[in-house]
């Protein structure tokens, strides 16, 4: 089955700096890669996703890049703000597959 590894497990940045979280996956047939943000005590919520037919997608301060050859994808947050502090999860799945495989999460702390 699919295996997703996420790094780093914790990340601390100064407000205004950029943050990058990376995930690698094992199943070359995976073609959907979402990122979820989980604030303390809340549910995970989708913030951005990318499908295998594109290499990059941006939404304001966040972007995701995908390298299908190397089987890795990354979340980039620019101009970080304290409200970006949360746990971020990556995931991988095939279209219409039964389940998604999640990474173990990255705890991002943005220091003011």
Partner 1 sequence: DAGITQSPRYKITETGRQVTLMCHQTWSHSYMFWYRQDLGHGLRLIYYSAAADITDKGEVPDGYVVSRSKTENFPLTLESATRSQTSVYFCASRDGGNTIYFGEGSWLTVV
| Binding-site ranges for partner 1 (CB under 8 A) | 32, 34, 36, 42-46, 49, 89, 91, 93, 95-100, 102-105
- Nearest approach, Cβ of residue 99 and partner 1 (Å): 5
- Pick between residue 24 and residue 93 the one whose CB is nearest to partner 1: 93
- Pick between residue 46 and residue 111 the one whose CB is nearest to partner 1: 46
- Nearest approach, Cβ of residue 72 and partner 1 (Å): 18
With beta carbons less than 8 A apart as the criterion, state whether 66 and 11 touch: no
CA distance 68 to 74: 12
- Nearest approach, Cβ of residue 79 and partner 1 (Å): 26
CA distance 7 to 5: 7
- Nearest approach, Cβ of residue 8 and partner 1 (Å): 14
- Pick between residue 51 and residue 111 the one whose CB is nearest to partner 1: 51
What contacts 88, CB < 8 A, 6 or more positions away?
Answer: 21, 35, 36, 37, 38, 47, 75, 105, 106, 108
- Pick between residue 46 and residue 58 the one whose CB is nearest to partner 1: 46
CA 89 to chain centre: 5
């Amino acid at each position: 089955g699919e295996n997703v590894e996420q790094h780093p497990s914790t990340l601390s940045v100064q407000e205004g700096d950029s943050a990058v979280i990376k995930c690698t996956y094992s199943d070359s047939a995976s073609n959907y890669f979402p990122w979820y943000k989980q604030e303390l005590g809340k549910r995970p919520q989708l913030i951005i996703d990318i499908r295998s037919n594109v290499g990059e997608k941006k939404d304001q301060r966040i972007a995701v890049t995908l390298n299908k050859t190397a089987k890795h994808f990354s979340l980039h947050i620019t101009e970080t703000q304290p409200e970006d502090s949360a746990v971020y999860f990556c995931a991988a799945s095939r279209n219409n597959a039964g389940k998604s495989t999640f990474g173990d999460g990255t705890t991002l702390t943005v220091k003011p």
